[in-house]
């Protein structure tokens, strides 16, 4: 792989620029859908871009009682982790830029690195709201990590490989895993919403309780980086679930269609429920989510032995 | 105990047009008896100053240039007016009413909210001798 | 309307044994003139009889001193000499305890002069009273024994013994604040 | 001030005056022993504008407008209490038509206030869609009020001696159409609030107040009626047109947060019925009767039922054109004392939702209640209060 194509991959196609564009488009679609569900007009198309540009232009204030290097470094780490994980997913329906055996585990690790750095960013300050936000983010991270991983392992076992683009090829040719493993799909979808802290699981940034949780102290560049990271995480989450459960992504049209439908469902779920208290989310997820995922795995293994 | 009691409404509103309008691009229609900006009719005014005394926000000052020829000037501060129409009801000669079209209160500086109602020459003469301590001069 | 009269009559019976002078300024109201000494006594009787609830406590400022002979309703019922001398020298604060039961309103009227404005608290009988008493203390300068003495509505740095709801108060500038 | 209390020492959790839950300035101090709240004080006064002092320097006509601005959502009921008192002092009886219009606007305002409240309560519980829908439907009632009076919020319908506007047939039909739509929506919301799992998780048997507690603490309005206390001034001491148009008092026995929601929603059905009844037989009569500029000497007490409970006005006049004294006691005040003493003994985690439960209106009552006070304190934020409670639940 000569340096030019890697350079191109890193910076232009599945890497930086393309991701920025597609994440703002998806954020806009998400906010517009939630608005329409709530019978509101919703933001104009360039609103997410405007937000990010405004934030980047703003001065970044470093509050005292905070370790400056961590305060500045963490948003960059978060964004880097997310951008790296994007390289291994079949972004826009095309082959992933890089692929090696076991890259599914690396992608999942990178995704949780993002939430981890968000939690650390909150814990780094002495402001009460972000301390509370940080503890809630980390509690939610631990409770959503395992079932989400199990839900993604289901199709991986069926496909017999840990490499995303091989799974992509497998799901492309076979029956949609959604039909064979519906429970897994449900657990994955709700796990994604828990990971992205979308309502009803938005206790870590409950606006009426703790202002904006771990991000309360952030402004300007740091906040912009975290916001972009969150949007890209949404896009990657949607691509992962559609590659695994909705019969793979072979061309851009399929990509847009499948992730679009998924986004409509996610936005609908967002506007349907009241915010669960953190103890309710964790209680719900460990009791129901984890068990369902385990049963799903058990069923697959048993079926494979029988068939 | 239902999960997501709002499901029907949420899905339906996806296809309904939004209830919000993007004002000011689309104008917001006001009802016909909206209490907007005060309008004074100097032909009917008798200079009794009832409106001035009853106004809870002291938004009206009535200057009497000449009582016999009924030449008055009303100084009206739209930014301190609270649009309660007490003056309209206190006025015995129906010289005041509130417009239902002018209600958008936005201006670049305070002076834009200060209106002088009355004939041109009265207003000019009032402003001409608007020397300090003028307020008491006309009574 | 007649059951309001009945409620007012029951209130009257309640107060008769204590020899409290009462009158009815309006058909739904009963005024009873009390003095600091028998205030707690009256309040306890009202509470035991479950006669309605304490709605609020109003303070009235009477700044002008009044000579004994004047027939004004203010001090007709007061006998003790020391109080009468006070009333001739300084103004007074009248405190009304309003109790409501259905449509009837019983108001206990209590007069204290500026110099001897200390009254007992009734908040251990009616717990919501402490709020109204705190406001009364702050706004009219009446010392109330038994409730914490600190600012309730006015900011912490409000100048000492400046009482805003007294007629003499016309704004902070004259009363010595910057 | 930030001294760390030792384990057995109780400590105070001060919250506010700006706290993200309620958008109005109130400062709470909960003294807590381990997990249970042992004492609660609320220090208000941040919205204290010295209104009672201001009324002593304004004429009787002007006072109606300053008293109307005590509270944003119940402005009409303040003006009604005031004008009824002044008319009684002046010995003026207003025409039945003006009386009915005044009561009609009071009921429309009750619908407006209750809808605003449960939208905000839903928002507090994180149920933003319900908040959006409720406030969208609330536009109907605000359009009705704007159409009638010419102003969306401070409708200033009252004048000394009557009302400012008349209601013609076109407006009657407009109100009727709006009320039908609102009634159908209230049925729908009643369904949602009493069945939605996530919402019940935040309201069922939280902040329960028994009937004795409610009575002895002097709580008023829907908060008291949710605990079974029969206190509704429209029924006990009917004023304005409530003597001819009778209202049924809605009570509940559960006394918890859900009961407070249910009582307020059922009250709305009662208000819709009353509004229709008033529209059906709107009596004749002129709008305003002349009231002298100088009100004869005397004093009176005017009690009305505001959306949040009993509103108490004491008016005294010395015969001038300015009042001698106007005392206002707003309904949220005793509700504060009743809820804060009920909070004592409750878990910390339920406190935020309970505070929203009484539909507090800070600007309505710039006062404070002191029940218990400890000297040492450790500074926590509102969020830490919530988190402290939530850890307890885990």
pLDDT digits (tens, 9 = 90+) for A7-54: 877 777 777 888 889 999 999 999 999 888 888 888 888 899 999 999
Query: In D, residues 60-99, which contact B (CB 8 Å cutoff)?
Result: 61-62, 64-66
Q: Give the rounded percent of residues in chain A with a pLDDT score beyond 70.
A: 98
Residue D367: closest C-alpha in chain C: C153
Do the chains C and A touch each other, judged by at least 3 C-beta pairs below 8 angstroms? Answer: no
Contact between chains at C169 and D53 (C-beta distance less than 8 A): yes
Q: How far away is chain D from the Cα of C46, in angstroms, using its nearest Cα? A: 12
pLDDT at D14: 56
The whole-number pLDDT of residue D96 equals 92
Question: Phi and psi of D116, rounded to 5°?
Answer: -60, -40
Closest CB to B33 among D62, D165, D197: D165
DSSP state of C93: E
| pLDDT at residue D4 in the model | 38
Long-range residue pairs from D294-297, CB within 8 A, at least 24 positions apart, any chain: D294/D319, D294/D320, D294/D321, D295/D60, D295/D86, D295/D89, D295/D90, D295/D319, D295/D320, D295/D321, D295/D323, D296/D89, D296/D90, D296/D91
The mean pLDDT value for D204-209 works out to 81
Q: What is the phi/psi pair of residue D56, to 5°? A: -75, -10
Say if residue D9's pLDDT is above 50. no
pLDDT of residue A284: 82
All residues of chain D having their beta carbon less than 8 Å from the beta carbon of residue C165 are 52-53
pLDDT at A172: 81
Confidence class of residue B132 from pLDDT cuts 50, 70 and 90?
A: very low
Q: Answer whether A33 touches B (CB < 8 Å).
A: yes
In a domain, D334, yes or no: no
Query: Tell me, what's the pLDDT at B135?
Result: 42
Question: Which class is B31-129 in CATH?
Answer: alpha beta
Q: Which comes out higher in pLDDT, residue D164 or A97?
A: D164
**How many contacts does C have with D, using Cβ atoms within 8 A?**
97
D146 and chain B: CB distance < 8 Å anywhere? yes
CA distance A208 to chain B (A): 21
Residue bearing the bigger pLDDT, D317 or C154? D317
According to the model, what pLDDT value does residue A140 have?
Answer: 87
Closest CA to A29 of A240, A289, A262: A262
Contact flag D288-B89 (C-beta cutoff 8 Å) = yes
Comparing CA positions, the residue from A112, A242, A99, A111 lying closest to residue A161 is A99
State the CATH number of the domain containing residue D203: 1.10.645.10
| Domain map (residue ranges) of chain B | 31-129
Give a yes or no: residue D385 inside a domain.
no
Q: Are D270 and D234 in contact (CB under 8 A)?
A: no
Any chains having at least 3 CB pairs less than 8 A from chain D are A, B, C
Domains of chain D: total = 1
Instruction: Say yes or no: ipTM exceeds 0.90.
Output: no
User: Contact at 8 Å (CB) between A40 and B22?
Assistant: no
A280 touches chain B (CB under 8 A): no
User: What is the pLDDT confidence band of residue A134, given thresholds at 50, 70 and 90?
Assistant: confident
The verdict on residue D383 lying in a domain is no
What average pLDDT does range B35-58 have in this prediction? 87
D chain contacts of residue C135, beta-carbon cutoff 8 Å = 367
Residue B25 is encoded by which pair of tokens?
């691009």
Measure B43 CA to nearest chain D CA, in Å.
24
* Chains A and D physically touch (3 or more Cβ atom pairs below 8 Å): yes
Mean pLDDT of D305-317: 90
**Average pLDDT for consecutive 10-residue bins of chain C (178 residues)?**
83 85 87 87 89 88 74 60 73 89 89 85 85 86 81 77 83 55
Which of B60-64, D23-27, D199-203 is the least confident region? D23-27
Q: Which residues of B touch A271 (CB under 8 A)?
A: 10
Can you tell me the mean pLDDT for D146-167? 88
**Structural domain that includes position D233:** 51-329
Q: Any alpha helices (H) in A124-163, and if so which ranges?
A: 128-159
Q: What is the mean pLDDT of chain B?
A: 81
A62-71, A94-103, C129-138: which range is least confident on average? Answer: A94-103
Instruction: Check residue D105 and give its pLDDT.
Output: 93
pLDDT of residue D86: 93
Most confident of A151-160, C101-110, D35-44: C101-110
Contact in structure between D143 and D169 (CB atoms under 8 Å): no
Please tell me the predicted confidence (pLDDT) of residue D383.
Answer: 45
The model's confidence at residue D388, banded by pLDDT at 50, 70 and 90, is low
Q: Is D300 inside a domain boundary?
A: yes
Lowest mean pLDDT among A177-186, A290-299, C158-167, D19-28: D19-28
**Separation CA A33–CA A267 (nearest Å):** 6
Burial annotation D78-94 (CB, 10 A radius, 16+ → b, else e)? bbbbbbbbbbbbbebeb
**D120 inside 8 A of chain B by CB:** no
């Amino acid at each position: 792989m000569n340096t030019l194509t890697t350079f191109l991959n890193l910076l232009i196609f599945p890497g930086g620029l393309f991701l920025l564009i597609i994440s703002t488009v998806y954020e806009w679609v998400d906010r517009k859908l939630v608005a329409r569900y709530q019978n509101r007009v919703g933001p104009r198309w360039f609103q997410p871009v405007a937000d990010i540009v405004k934030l980047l232009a703003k001065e970044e204030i470093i509050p005292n009682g905070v370790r400056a290097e961590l305060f500045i470094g963490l948003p960059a780490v978060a964004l880097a982790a997310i951008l790296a994980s994007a390289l291994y997913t079949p972004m826009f329906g095309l082959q992933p830029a890089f692929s090696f055996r076991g890259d599914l585990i690396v992608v999942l690790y990178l995704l949780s690195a993002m939430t981890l750095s968000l939690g650390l960013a909150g814990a780094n300050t002495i402001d009460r709201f972000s301390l509370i936000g940080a503890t809630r983010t980390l509690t939610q991270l631990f409770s959503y990590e395992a079932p989400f991983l199990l839900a993604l392992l289901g199709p991986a076992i069926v496909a017999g490989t840990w490499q995303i683009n091989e799974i992509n090829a497998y799901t492309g040719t076979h029956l949609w895993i959604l039909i064979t493993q519906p429970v897994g799909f449900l657990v994955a979808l709700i796990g994604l919403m828990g990971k992205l802290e979308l309502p009803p699981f938005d206790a870590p940034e409950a606006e009426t309780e703790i202002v904006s949780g771990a991000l309360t102290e952030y402004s300007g560049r740091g906040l912009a980086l975290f916001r972009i990271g969150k949007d890209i995480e949404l896009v990657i989450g949607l691509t992962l679930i559609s590659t695994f459960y909705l019969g793979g992504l072979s061309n851009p049209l399929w990509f847009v269609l499948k992730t679009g439908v998924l986004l409509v469902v996610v936005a609908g779920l967002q506007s349907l429920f009241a915010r669960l208290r953190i103890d309710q989310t964790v209680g719900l997820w460990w009791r129901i989510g984890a068990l369902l995922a385990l049963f799903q795995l058990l069923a697959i293994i048993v079926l494979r032995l029988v068939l | 105990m239902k999960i997501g009691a709002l499901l029907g409404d949420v899905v339906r509103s996806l296809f309904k047009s939004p209830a919000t309008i993007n004002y000011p691009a689309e104008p917001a229609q006001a009802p016909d008896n909206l209490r907007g900006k005060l309008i004074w009719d100097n032909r009917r005014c008798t200079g009794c100053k009832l409106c001035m005394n009853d106004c809870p926000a002291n938004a009206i000052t009535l200057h009497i240039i000449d009582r016999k020829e009924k030449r008055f000037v009303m100084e009206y501060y739209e930014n301190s007016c609270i649009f309660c129409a007490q003056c309209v009801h206190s006025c015995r000669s129906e010289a005041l009413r509130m417009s239902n079209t002018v209600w958008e209160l936005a201006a670049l500086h305070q002076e834009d909210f200060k209106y002088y109602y009355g004939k041109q020459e009265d207003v000019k003469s009032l402003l001409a001798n608007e020397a300090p301590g003028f307020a008491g001069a006309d009574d | 309307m007649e059951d309001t009269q009945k409620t007012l009559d029951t209130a009257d019976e309640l107060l008769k044994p204590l020899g409290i002078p009462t009158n009815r300024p309006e058909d739904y109201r009963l005024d009873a003139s009390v003095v600091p000494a028998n205030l707690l006594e009256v309040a306890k009787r009202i509470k035991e009889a479950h006669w309605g609830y304490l709605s609020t406590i109003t303070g009235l400022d009477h700044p002008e001193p009044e000579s004994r002979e004047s027939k004004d309703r203010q001090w007709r019922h007061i006998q003790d000499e020391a109080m009468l001398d006070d009333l001739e020298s300084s103004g007074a604060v009248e405190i009304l305890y309003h109790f409501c039961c259905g449509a009837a309103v019983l108001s206990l009227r209590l007069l204290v002069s500026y110099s001897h404005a200390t009254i007992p608290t009734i908040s251990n009988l009616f717990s919501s009273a402490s709020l109204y008493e705190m406001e009364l203390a702050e706004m009219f300068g009446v010392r109330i024994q038994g409730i914490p003495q600190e600012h309730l509505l006015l900011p912490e740095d409000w100048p000492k013994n400046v009482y805003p709801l007294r007629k003499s108060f016309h704004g902070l500038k004259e009363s010595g604040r910057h | 001030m930030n001294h760390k209390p030792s384990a057995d020492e109780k400590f105070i959790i001060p919250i506010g005056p700006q706290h993200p839950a309620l958008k109005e300035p109130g400062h709470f101090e909960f003294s807590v022993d381990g997990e249970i709240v042992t004492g609660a004080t609320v220090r208000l006064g941040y919205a204290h504008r010295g209104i009672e002092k201001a009324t002593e320097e304004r004429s009787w006509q002007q006072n109606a407008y300053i008293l109307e601005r005590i509270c944003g959502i119940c402005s009409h009921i303040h003006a009604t209490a005031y004008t009824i008192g002044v008319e009684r002092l002046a010995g003026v009886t207003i025409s039945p038509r003006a009386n009915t219009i005044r009561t009609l606007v009071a009921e429309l305002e009750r619908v407006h206030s209750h809808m605003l409240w449960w939208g905000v309560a839903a928002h507090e519980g994180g149920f933003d869609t319900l908040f959006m829908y409720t406030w969208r439907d609330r536009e109907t009632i605000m359009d009705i009020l704007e159409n009638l009076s010419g102003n969306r919020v401070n409708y200033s319908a009252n004048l000394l001696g009557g009302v400012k506007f008349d209601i013609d047939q076109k407006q009657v039909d407009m109100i009727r159409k709006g009320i039908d739509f609102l009634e159908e929506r209230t049925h729908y919301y009643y369904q949602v609030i009493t069945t939605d799992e996530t919402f019940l998780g935040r309201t069922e048997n939280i902040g329960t107040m028994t009937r004795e507690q409610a009575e002895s603490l002097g709580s008023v309005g829907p908060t008291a009626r949710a605990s079974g206390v029969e206190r509704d001034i429209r029924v006990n001491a009917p004023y304005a047109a409530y003597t001819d148009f009778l209202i049924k008092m809605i009570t509940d026995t559960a006394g918890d947060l859900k009961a407070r929601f249910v009582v307020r929603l059922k009250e709305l059905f009662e208000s819709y019925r009353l509004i229709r009844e008033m529209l059906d037989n709107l009596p004749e009569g002129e709008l305003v009767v002349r009231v002298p500029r100088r009100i004869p000497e005397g004093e009176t007490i005017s009690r009305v039922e505001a959306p949040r409970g009993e509103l108490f006005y004491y008016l005294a006049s010395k015969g001038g054109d300015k009042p001698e004294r106007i005392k206002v006691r707003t309904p949220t005040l005793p509700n504060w004392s009743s809820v804060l003493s009920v909070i004592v003994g409750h878990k910390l985690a339920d406190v935020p939702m309970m505070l929203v439960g009484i539909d507090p209106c800070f600007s309505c009552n710039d006062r404070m209640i002191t029940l218990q006070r400890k000297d040492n304190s450790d500074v926590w934020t509102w969020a830490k209060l919530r988190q402290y409670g939530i850890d307890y639940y885990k």
